[in-house]
Structure 1
Amino acid sequence: MRINVLQHTPNEGPGMIQDWSQKNGHEMYIYHPYQFGYLPTAEETDMLVILGGPMSPNDDLPWIEQERELIQTLMDQEKPIFGVCYGAQQIVKTLGYDVTKAPAKEVGFAPVYRRDVKFLNIPEELNVLHWHEEMFEIPAQAQLLFSSDKLENQGFIMNHRIVGLQFHLEPKADNVREMVVNDFPYIKNSVLNQTSEEILQTRISDDNKQTLYKLLDFITI
């Protein structure tokens, strides 16, 4: 399977998604549309991963609209799509729903809670990395997957083929270090009130990896 990844900033790469891809013998191609302007075609995409970034789906940039055209085509073809943070917001915008400012900016580690989707056999609570200040509506076609203490809509699952997460399950410890040392000014004014050092010292649970793998397995079966 060819997995095409849309990466939107140098310091937010695929992390453990790449590990899952390699474990399953898939081929991964990483695109940087914010820098080079190129996107894969639907024909050469078996699965699409849309990563986070500092931009908003509401920004008026040609490549952002082109991403949504690709997402819509892949939805029509019922191909698996996994969206993280901005990537999940792009899926929601493609479906015609709103992305708006969240009640509070969340940056740092905090729990999310699994909602009614029990068939996935994932933990009821996970301590995950948040790095956002916008939020998405849950599409009518989708099920609410996760919520946090500060934000109800933290994740959704749709049609056995699409998962969108507002938070980050994919980073390994080195990835978190990369995010913090390059984007530390963004931590200021977060409702989670964590310092760079506190974020760096937080251990990433193996539950995050196992949950990520189960979600990726689910949409690619």
Structure 2
Amino acid sequence: MKPVAIFRHIPIEGPGYFATFLDNNHIPWRMIKIDAGEKLPASIDAFSGLVFMGGTMSVNDDLPWIEQELTLIRQAVAQDVPVLGHCLGGQLMAKALGGAISANPVKEMGWGEVSVTDNPVARAWFGDLTTFNSFHWHGEAFSIPHGATCILSSPYCENQAFALGMHLGMQCHVEMTERLVIDWCSVGAEELASFNEPSVQSLEEIEKDLPERVAALNAVAERLYKKWTVNLK
């Protein structure tokens, strides 16, 4: 099998549990470190799937690699090569497929419940699961691209995930590990403390019962990643 390409945009937003899942299932992968100036591939031919991680930048920023990633996403969708996006990655997918990215009504940071929408596409990804506690860290959100289906929502962000056939774009972060949560909180401590609204949790609340919360989220991620990797060739 050709490797899965994982596009990293900032050092602390790596693949997390997704890399663990790939390793546990003996699926090869290659990290492309945009943050380190690594060149993007000219085509998708060397990869069995494309995965885009998060980042602090906006998809609407004038950065040279954004248009290149949008082109790779469109190539992959056209050639039935599975694409997976986490937060900024989901926004990149939405924009590549004709959706819009704009400011969310509120910042959403910390743990929060998401609801699985009541449609056949969502049930294909989540089975009998109707809600779960996910991790959030975003100020922008995507519209659902034409032809895709919304499969997750939260009280603070209507469009938390969409599916288009084998392709999955998420606003929320299902890839979290304890290490990632702690690192993000360390870097973002000042920002967290500057908000006083229910959509943003305190540092103490985010790190409360962390092993149990992460384990429960890993179980959800396991299901999603398993379905997504079925289409790898």
TM-score bucket (shorter structure): over 0.9
Asked if structure 2 preserves the Cα contact closer than 8 Å seen for 1:104 and 1:191, the reply is no
- Residue matched to 2:62: 60
Distance in 2 (alpha carbons) for counterparts of 1:80 and 1:122: 24
- Residue matched to 2:180: 175
Q: Residues 122 and 19 of structure 1: is their aligned pair in 2 closer, same or farther, counting only changes over 3 Å? A: farther
Q: Deviations over 1:10-32 (max 9, x none)?
A: 11111110011011111111111
Look up the equivalent residue of 1:157 and give its one-letter code. A
Distance in 1 (alpha carbons) for counterparts of 2:59 and 2:5: 19
- Residue matched to 2:203: 196
Secondary structure at the aligned position of 2:68 is classed as helix
Alignment of 1:113-152 (within 5 A): 113-116=115-118, 117-120=122-125, 121=127, 123-152=129-158
Unaligned runs of 5+ in 2: none
Question: Does residue 1:5 correspond to 2:18, yes or no?
Answer: no
State the shift of 1:207 in Å: 3.4
TM-score (norm 1): 0.94
Calculate the aligned-residue CA RMSD, in Å.
1.5
TM-score (norm 2): 0.89
**How many residues are treated as equivalent by the alignment?**
220
Which of 81, 99, 105 does residue 103 from structure 1 map onto? 105
Asked if structure 2 preserves the Cα contact closer than 8 Å seen for 1:34 and 1:63, the reply is no
State the shift of 1:143 in Å: 1.2
- Residue matched to 1:27: 28
Structure 1 stretches of 4+ moved >3 Å: none
Distance in 1 (alpha carbons) for counterparts of 2:137 and 2:200: 13
Identity %: 31
Unaligned runs of 5+ in 1: none
Q: Deviations over 1:112-136 (max 9, x none)?
A: 0111222331521111111000010
Distance in 1 (alpha carbons) for counterparts of 2:94 and 2:198: 24
State the shift of 1:191 in Å: 4.1
